[in-house]
Structures are given as C-alpha cells and as structure tokens.
Amino acid sequence: MSMSIEEQVLESEYQLMLDHLTLRSRGSGFLIEDIEQEFEHLLVYQGQDWVGRGEIKNAEIQGHVYAYQIFLKRWKEAHLNN
C-alpha cells in the first residue's frame, strides 16, 4: 500500500529534522537547553491552528515534533545515564 501525501510529508520532515538536530548537536556551542526551548515553542505553534493550516502543513509540523521528541530522548539516554 502506498503512503498518502500527508504520511510522506510527515516521514520526510521527521527525518530531515532529526538529521538537522543530530548535526547541530555535534557543533561547538551546542546546548541541549536550546533544543528543549525550541521544542516547547514548537508545541505552542502546533497548538495554534485556529485558522486551519491544512493537513500537509500539520503533517510537516508533526514530523518536526516527533523528531524533537526522539532526539531529546536519545540525547538524554546517551548523556544523562553515564
């Protein structure tokens, strides 16, 4: 079965954002607190859909939310359990 355009967008945006966050984490000056703050702002933005963004934009945002969640989980497991 083929994926819907919304599923394709969600998957693509998830992977792009996860790759972006991983790359950022390798740079000098990286602070996990910055990522946590961005995630909080993203959640607020996600909830502000009072004018109706449409399914594709919502899928994009949801992909970003998933990427931040997974990145934060993996980062904390790797750095806080040592």
pLDDT tens-digit series, residues 45-71: 998 877 788 999 999 999 999 999 999
Report pLDDT for 29. 94
Name the domain count of the chain: 1
**Nearest C-alpha neighbor of 72 from the set 42, 44, 40, 32:** 32
Gap between the terminal Cα atoms of the chain: 43
Task: Express each pLDDT in 9-44 by its tens digit.
Answer: 999 999 999 999 999 999 999 999 999 999 999 999
The range of the structural domain enclosing residue 61 comes to 5-80
pLDDT at residue 81 in the model: 72
